[in-house]
Structure 1
Amino acid sequence: MTTHEQLPKANAPAGEGTGLRLETIGADLHAAFLRRPGGYTASFLQTPAWARVKTGWRAESLGWFDGAGRLMGTALVLYRQLPGLRRLFAYLPEGPGVDWADPQLERWLDPLADHLRGAGAFAVRMGPPLAYRRWSARTLKDAAGPGRRVGDVLPDLVEPLGAAVADRLRESGWRRCGADGQPRLVFEVPLAGRGLDDLWTGLNQEWRRNVKKAGRSGVRTGVEGPQTLPAFHELLRVTERRDGFDLGRDLGYYQRQYAELNAEQPGRMRLYTARHEGELLAAHTLLTSPDGVRVWYQTGASADHRREVRPSNALQWRMLCDALLAGAAVYDMRGVPDDLDPASRAHGLLRWKLGTGGEAVETVGEWELPLQGAVNKALHRAMHVYLTRR
């Protein structure tokens, strides 16, 4: 993070010296802090609104204050109770929002561990929102082959901060999770400093051809309201059956998400649609960070028929253009498989996203810390089994 504009203190404690104090804060203060310009760009998973989306979890907004009582960082913590027991598992998806470049990182993480331990948590999992390695679309396209994985390929860039933070966490007793709750390998299209012409020439020939074909075929893209969510969900079920996956999210989940995110900040979640002769053929959800710097293509759905008119390509092109014109710096297409084998079905999703000319980004991933005690370690193992089964 960089410098922070001062916000209302909202019962903030007066810390002393260079130490930081961690306190529970209200949702309004938390949301206002995330919207300020020039600060930390928070994931949608770290907003107070997300706490209201995630039923079944108890949530808490936390804030770090400096010695002058200024709010310096925030976190959304989700607590899950282990069935039949009173102890809690604490989860900070794609958070917390702290100064990861601080050479005294313990100023941020030690108070967090103490607070969660006091709240009754036996373990904490967090996902520092930092990039670790990057591969360009060209690099991965050239490296594709039987049995190949993204991790087998020399990256174009290793991010110094991400690498340093991973080392420091390991030295402090944190350990990498075997299976992340959020995607560790994502795909990003950089937008900062680019124009529409740059964005267009960044697409590969197949993408440009498909976008043009959609236009000639009469595909019409737009943004529709919550009344279209049931139709989007029906298309999503079609997509899941066709592609062999199941997100396990009912219509109510998306209706709640749409209502809560947009109530906190209008326009935070939008539903983009592609229609041909009036029929809905594709619908994608787009989320925007509180400061507008990053957007996420979260969930895509498409019909089984009329795929030849390329509605999904037209829809993604519309979303990319809108994000660029709105001033976003990064278009995040979320998770991709690491499979570089052209014969693999999983490679198809990565190949499709590579066509936008962006880059695959490996984050530092999720890390866990048992909150001391042999009993807590046993509970930690039990929670892993529970989450895996869910």
Structure 2
Amino acid sequence: MSLSVRTISTADHLAFLTSLPSASFLQTPAWAAVKSEWRGESIGWFDGGDIVGAGLVLYRKLPKVAKYLAYLPEGPSIDFASAAAGPGGLAAWLDPMVKHLTGRGAFGVRMGPPVVLRRWDAATVKKAVADPALRTLGDAPAAATDPRAIAVTSELHRLGWREQVGEGGFTAGQPKYNFWLPLVDADGAPRSEEAVLRGMNQLWRRNIKKADKAGVEVTLGGADDIAAFHTIYAETAERDHFTPRPLAYFQTMWDALNGEDPDRMRLYLARHEGDLVAATTMVRVGQHAWYSYGASTTAKREVRGSNAIQWRMIRDALAAGCTVYDMRGITDTLDPEDSHVGLIQFKVGTGGEAVEYAGEWDLPINRLLYLAFQQYMKRR
């Protein structure tokens, strides 16, 4: 098999993604419109005249020079494990990509292979948090390790790619550790709502019942409700000490994702006696649903709007035929004194599993410009 890589149309890119069980929403053509400070390009891998892989490339320009970092967040959408084990290994797939991107002015390439190395079930994570001898998730015994995924990272090292290691499991781009709630059993059969609820811990089940008894109502919102979401999102940011994204970002995200697929992004609103107490967004591509952003008010926390809204999203993901409800990033810290542990414990209560991705990897093409870009980003 001799592969080539070239620019493809949005329609061809979407058609290929539709043929897959799922792909990251960060690899959909619409994501380029969300990241307007980057220039976007859809690329395809061709075996003869057939598209056998695709990717969304975001180009970030260096100041004062027409050279770019080419970034494929949580991509590209190729079968990395099979590629690494196949004829020519990963080089047969990555070399033509690098050649294409170099021709487009890239001084370096960054990608996030969508492969999972290890998994930890909820019971293991809960026990690990309580064990003072364990400081990070990697110190705890994994419930499962994928040797094919490990082989991918070994091959990337051999080919000169550099893993980007960040504090707490977060790199410059996407998190290395996520929390998944599987919506299918070990045999791939869909789980029932009752089975998912039974898998949650006692606190989660009690809080879902408490919200229902208090009369919390969860509804779907539209474009006109994004401003209300953003108001309590900004309140959450101030309370939890993070920098919020502007309202325009969410409006652009809504228009871009739902312009590509009318049910790609949903907005959920939880109200108690008419007061908005929590709001979230969910994104779905094929059989994978992501809880992407969440917010809650300081007032009326006792009615448990956050649990109610999560339960509604989980049930909707089940109804849509999803295999995974992805609660997105967690840190790898197990230190009970670390504020991030509270987020892990909240997600662990669903009875899901922590997963470790391969992380993000860089390939410097022009080493001098790559070093200059790293210094520029540090200053920013």
1:98 correspondence with 2:78: yes
Matched, 1:250 2:246: yes
- State the partner residue of 1:361: 355
Structure 1 residue 99 displacement after superposition: 2.3
For residues 18-29 of structure 1, the aligned pairs below 5 Å read 18-29=1-12
Q: Deviations over 1:80-115 (max 9, x none)?
A: 101122211110000011121122322210000111
How many residue pairs align between the two structures? 363
The residue that corresponds to 1:174 in the other structure is 161
Q: In 2, are the aligned partners of 1:232 and 1:301 still within 8 Å (CA)?
A: yes
CA–CA separation in structure 2 for the residues paired with 1:48 and 1:207? 36
Instruction: State, as a whole percentage, how many aligned pairs show the same letter.
Output: 50
Residues 150-200 of structure 1, C-alpha deviations (whole Å, 9 max, x = no match) = 121121111122101000111111110133210110000000221111101
Match of 2:338 among 341, 344, 360: 344
Alignment of 1:152 onto 2:139: yes
- For 2:16, the equivalent position in structure 1 comes to 33
Q: 1:386, CA displacement in angstroms?
A: 2.7
User: 1:42 aligns to what SS in structure 2?
Assistant: coil
Q: Is the 8 A contact 1:186 1:334 kept in 2?
A: yes
1:327: Cα distance to partner?
0.2
Aligned residue in 2 for 1:3? none
Which of 183, 200, 215 lines up with 2:175 in the alignment? 183
> What corresponds to 2:151 in structure 1?
164
Deviations 1:27-61 (A, max 9, x none): 1111121112xx25210000100011111111110
Q: Which residue of the partner structure matches residue 58 of structure 1?
A: 39
Which of 190, 213, 231 in structure 1 is aligned with 2:228?
A: 231
**Is 1:385 the equivalent of 2:372?**
no
Q: Which runs of 5+ in 2 are unaligned?
A: none
* Amino acid paired to 1:341: D
Please point out which of 30, 47, 50 is paired with 1:49: 30
Match of 1:330 in 2: 324
Say which of 98, 115, 119 aligns to 1:134. Answer: 119
Question: Does the C-alpha gap of structure 1 residues 334 and 346 become closer, same or farther in structure 2, counting only changes over 3 Å?
Answer: same
8 Å contact kept, 1:40–1:97: no
Who is 1:262 aligned against?
A: 258
Matched, 1:216 2:213: yes
- Secondary structure in structure 2 of the residue aligned to 1:272: strand
After alignment, is 356-365 or 39-48 more displaced?
39-48
Rounded Cα–Cα distance in structure 2 between residues aligned with 1:388 and 1:196: 46
1:295 pairs with 2:275: no
Deviations 1:301-329 (A, max 9, x none): 00011000000000001100110111000
Contact 2:21 2:287 in 1 (8 A): no
Task: Give the letter for the 1:221 counterpart.
Answer: V
Structure 1 segments unaligned to the other structure (5+ residues):
1-17
Please give the secondary structure, in 2, of the residue aligned with 1:123. strand
Query: Once the 2 structures are TM-superposed, how far is the Cα of residue 344 of structure 1 from its aligned partner?
Result: 2.5
Q: Secondary structure at the match of 1:128?
A: coil
C-alpha separation between the residues in 1 aligned to 2:283 and 2:325?
10
Give the RMSD, CA atoms, in angstroms.
1.2
Which 4+ runs in 1 deviate beyond 3 A?
A: none
One-letter identity of the residue aligned with 1:212? K
Residue type of the partner of 1:162?
A
